Structure 1
Amino acid sequence: MATILYARVSTTDQNIAHQKTQAENAGFTIDDVVADHGISGIGTKLKDRTEGKRLFDKLRSGDTLVVRWVDRLGRNYQDVTDTIRHFMRQGVIIRTVINNMTFDGATKDPMQEAVRDALIAFMAATAQAQAEATKEAQRAGIEAAKGDVSKYRGKKPSYNREAFTKVQDMNGTGAGTSQIAKATGLTRQTVLRIVGDPQGCEAALLRWGM
């Protein structure tokens, strides 16, 4: 039985290695890493991605699939829920690094199944909603600027992509604001802004090509 990490980054400047390190720091012993680089989780289904296809072929009953969060599998509600249910039927256990969630098909209790499936649906819907909110923020900013690039971009973020991701990761594991600020070198105010409005903060990064 193997423990396989699936990692995905949508831009070339994001770091796959960070997702592996985070999983190991959370106590996972990773036997293999399957990763897609520069792939959007919105328009490309997991089974249609180069390494996603390999993941479907590689996983066997009794294996554990580890992801940072369900949004690494995708940001399309139907695709994510279909994928997780497919793997559960196959006997694969899915675990997330953030919040340490576990999904498997072992339970036969109707109430436990209902709770599990509702949670999967909620997480998948959240992943899609976050993606849509980011795209909407970009569209709104472009429309408001009407071609004025400096106005469209707004103020350059005081954080980079790595710090933004680390804030989200640490917040997901229950770290406090001061602890996150110390680890990232950001101010408490910036940390609170990222935690309180992750979609808006990610949209700011995208506007600046970060």
Structure 2
Amino acid sequence: MSVILYARVSTTDQTIEHQETQARRAGFEIDGVVSDHGTSGLSTKLAERSEGKRLYDMLRKGDTLVVRWVDRLGRNYQDVCDVIREFMRKGITIRTVINNMTFDGATTDPIQQAVRDALIAFMAATAQAQAEATKEAQKAGIAHAKTKTVKYRGRKPTYDRDQFQLVRDMLTNGAGASAIAKASKLTRQTVLRIKSEPGQAEAALLAWGL
């Protein structure tokens, strides 16, 4: 039985290495990493991605698939639900690094199945909502950045693109500022600033080419 980490990055500012490091720090013993670069989870299904196809071929009954969060599998509600349920039917366990969630097909109790399926649906819906919110924040950030010249781009952000995305992910999942600060290695004040002004936080990254 193998433990496979699937990592996906949609921009050059994100890194596969960060997702792997985060998983190992959370206590996951990873046997292999499958990754897709420059791929949008909102417009491209997992089965249509080059390495996503390989993931379907290599995973077997009893294996565990690890992802940072369900949004790595997709950003579309129906796609995420379908992917998780298909893997469960094949006897594959899905685990998330953020929130340490586990999804498998082990239970036969209808009530437990209903609770599990409702949670999957909720997380899938959250993934799509987050993707749409991120697009709006990026638009706001670009618009804000265009109003500034390089001369007045302000102080360099104390966070990078990966930390910014982690903060956004954990905020979407309802995590508190203190927990996010610990996970992202940022100050609580920085987390709260990103939470209150995501557009400006995005603009600061863009202004500095981050």
Shorter-chain TM-score: which interval? 0.7 to 0.9
Verify: 1:18 aligned to 2:15, yes or no.
Answer: no
Whether the 8 Å contact between 1:46 and 1:74 is mirrored in structure 2 is: yes
* SS, match of residue 34 in structure 1: strand
Contact 2:138 2:199 in 1 (8 A): no
Secondary structure of the residue that 2:147 maps to in structure 1? helix
Kept after mapping to 1: 8 A contact 2:177/2:188? no
Q: TM-score, normalised by structure 1?
A: 0.82
Equivalent residues of 1:59, 1:92 under 8 A apart? yes
Q: Which residue of 2 aligns with 1:177?
A: 178
The code of the aligned residue for 2:96 comes to T
CA distance in 1, matches of 2:29, 2:13: 26
TM value normalised by structure 2? 0.82
| Cα distance change on mapping 1:187 and 1:29 into 2, 3 Å | closer
Matching of residue 204 in structure 1 with residue 203 in structure 2:
yes
Give the Å deviation of 1:177: 2.8
**Is 1:150 aligned with 2:140?**
no
| Cα offset, 1:204, TM superposition | 3.4
Listed as ranges, the matches of 1:33-182 within 5 Å are: 33-139=33-139, 149-151=146-148, 158=157, 159-165=159-165, 167=167, 177=178, 180=181
Unmatched 5+ residue regions in structure 2?
none
Code of the residue aligned with 1:36 in structure 2: it is D
- Unaligned ranges ≥5, structure 1: none
Percent sequence identity is 66
What does the per-residue CA deviation read over 1:27-74, in whole Å, with 9 as the maximum and x for residues that have no partner?
A: 111111000011111101000000000001011111000001001111
Distance 1:182 1:139, change over 3 A: closer
1:51/1:180 CA distance change after superposition, 3 Å: same
RMSD (CA atoms):
3.3
Tell me which residue corresponds to 1:3.
3
Q: Is the 8 A contact 1:177 1:192 kept in 2?
A: no
* 8 A Cα contact 1:88 1:103, kept in partner: yes
| 2:21 partner letter | T
Residues 82/205 of structure 1: CA separation in 2 closer, same or farther (3 Å cut): farther
CA distance 1:70–1:50, change in 2 (3 Å): same
Q: Secondary structure at the match of 1:87?
A: helix
Corresponding residue pairs, total: 205
